[in-house]
Structure 1
Amino acid sequence: MEEKVLESRRIRIYPTKDQQAYLTFNMFANIKMWNALLAEVYKPVSELDEVQALPRNKQSKEVYKRIERMSWEEQRDLFKGLRGLSTKAIYDADETVFESGWTLKDADTSMYSYTLRTLKTAMSNHLKNPRHFGIPRFKTTMDVENQGSYTSGAHVCEISEDGKYLRVGKLKRFKLGLIEMANHYPSDGRLYKVTIKHESSDTWYVSFVFEQAEHTVKRPRTGLAAGIDLNVTGNSHIVLQDGTRYQLPYDKIRKLEQKIEKENVKRSRKYEQWKKEVAIIEEDNKKSLIPKHVPTLAERSNYQKNKKKIAKLHLRIKNLKKDYIKKTCSKLANEYDVIVMEDLAVSDMEKNKYRARAITRSNFREIRDTLTYMMDWADKKIVFIDRWSPTSKRCHTCGYIKHNLKLSDRKWTCPICNSHHDQDINAAKNILDEGLDLLDKMNDSCKKCGHERTVITTDEKWTCTKCGAKNKTTPKEENSSDVA
Structure 2
Amino acid sequence: WGKPKFKSKKAPRQGFKTDRAKIINGKLRLDKPLGIKTWYDISFKGAKALDGDLKVVSVYRENGKYWASLPFEVEITKKDKTSNKTAVDTNVGYFNYTEGKVNTLPNHLKKLYKRIKHYQRQLARKRVVNENKATKTNNYVKTRAKLQRDYRKVANIQHDIIYKFTTKLVSDYDKIVIEDLDVKKMQMTHVASKGLQRSLFGYFRQVLTYKASWYDKEVVLADKYYPSTQRCSECGYIKTGEDKVGLDGNRKHKTKHNEYICYECGAIMDRDENAVMNLLNLVA
Q: TM-score, normalised by structure 2?
A: 0.82
Contact 1:229 1:341 in 2 (8 A): yes
Structure 1 residue 211 and structure 2 residue 68: aligned? no
Q: 1:157 to 1:271 in 2, by over 3 A?
A: same
Contact 1:146 1:202 in 2 (8 A): no
Shift of 1:258: 1.3
1:189 to 40, 52, 62: 52
Name the structure 1 match of 2:83: 223
Shift of 1:388: 1.1
Contact 1:249 1:320 in 2 (8 A): no
- Structure 2 gaps, min length 5: 250-257
SS of 2:25's partner is coil
* 1:94-243 mapped onto 2 (5 Å cutoff): 94=1, 96-98=2-4, 145-147=11-13, 152=18, 156-167=19-30, 171-172=31-32, 174-175=34-35, 177=39, 180=42, 182-185=44-47, 186-199=49-62, 201-212=63-74, 214-215=75-76, 219-232=79-92, 237-241=94-98
Name the structure 2 match of 1:333: 170
Q: 1:197 to 1:225 in 2, by over 3 A?
A: farther
Computing the radius of gyration over CA atoms, which structure comes out larger, 1 or 2?
A: 1
Separation (CA, whole Å) in 2 of partners of 1:384 and 1:373: 14
Task: Give the letter for the 1:251 counterpart.
Answer: N
Per-residue CA deviations over 1:324-343 (Å, capped at 9, x if unaligned) read 21222222222222111011
SS of 2:42's partner is strand
Q: 1:181 to 1:322 in 2, by over 3 A?
A: farther
Query: What is the identity percentage for the equivalent residue pairs of Structure 1 and Structure 2?
Result: 26
Contact 2:259 2:271 in 1 (8 A): yes
Task: Give the letter for the 2:45 counterpart.
Answer: N
Contact 1:165 1:178 in 2 (8 A): no
Shift of 1:249: 3.9
Shift of 1:150: 6.1
Per-residue CA deviations over 1:266-316 (Å, capped at 9, x if unaligned) read 3334334434xx8xxxxxxxxxxxxxxxxx445421221111111111111
Structure 1 residue 257 and structure 2 residue 105: aligned? no
Per-residue CA deviations over 1:104-143 (Å, capped at 9, x if unaligned) read xxxxxxxxxxxxxxxxxxxxxxxxxxxxxxxxxxxxx779
Contact 1:337 1:381 in 2 (8 A): yes
Task: Give the letter for the 1:365 counterpart.
Answer: G
Name the structure 1 match of 2:179: 342
Name the structure 2 match of 1:413: 261
SS of 1:160's partner is strand
Task: Give the letter for the 2:270 counterpart.
Answer: D
* 1:53-68 mapped onto 2 (5 Å cutoff): none
Separation (CA, whole Å) in 2 of partners of 1:384 and 1:173: 52
1:274 to 115, 123, 130: 130
Task: Give the letter for the 2:150 counterpart.
Answer: L
Structure 1 residue 360 and structure 2 residue 197: aligned? yes
SS of 1:157's partner is coil
1:301 to 119, 133, 138: 138
Contact 1:342 1:386 in 2 (8 A): yes
Structure 1 residue 385 and structure 2 residue 222: aligned? yes
Name the structure 2 match of 1:443: none
Separation (CA, whole Å) in 1 of partners of 2:160 and 2:168: 12
- Structure 1 gaps, min length 5: 1-93, 101-140, 279-295, 437-482
Q: 1:414 to 1:190 in 2, by over 3 A?
A: same
Q: Compute the RMSD of aligned alpha carbons.
A: 2.8
Structure having greater relative contact order (Cα 8 Å, sep ≥ 6):
2
Contact 1:166 1:181 in 2 (8 A): no
Q: 1:195 to 1:349 in 2, by over 3 A?
A: farther
Name the structure 2 match of 1:473: none
Contact 2:21 2:57 in 1 (8 A): no
Separation (CA, whole Å) in 1 of partners of 2:175 and 2:198: 26
SS of 1:306's partner is helix
Shift of 1:367: 1.2
Q: 1:175 to 1:164 in 2, by over 3 A?
A: farther
Shift of 1:354: 2.0
Per-residue CA deviations over 1:198-222 (Å, capped at 9, x if unaligned) read 55x444433333333x226x64432
Separation (CA, whole Å) in 1 of partners of 2:9 and 2:201: 30
Separation (CA, whole Å) in 1 of partners of 2:185 and 2:41: 44
Q: 1:419 to 1:299 in 2, by over 3 A?
A: closer
Per-residue CA deviations over 1:208-240 (Å, capped at 9, x if unaligned) read 33333x226x644322110110011xxx61111
Per-residue CA deviations over 1:156-205 (Å, capped at 9, x if unaligned) read 322131232232xxx43535546736323544432343344555x44443
Task: Give the letter for the 1:229 counterpart.
Answer: D
SS of 2:67's partner is strand
Separation (CA, whole Å) in 2 of partners of 1:326 and 1:160: 25
More helix by proportion, 1 or 2?
1
Contact 2:56 2:70 in 1 (8 A): yes
Name the structure 1 match of 2:206: 369
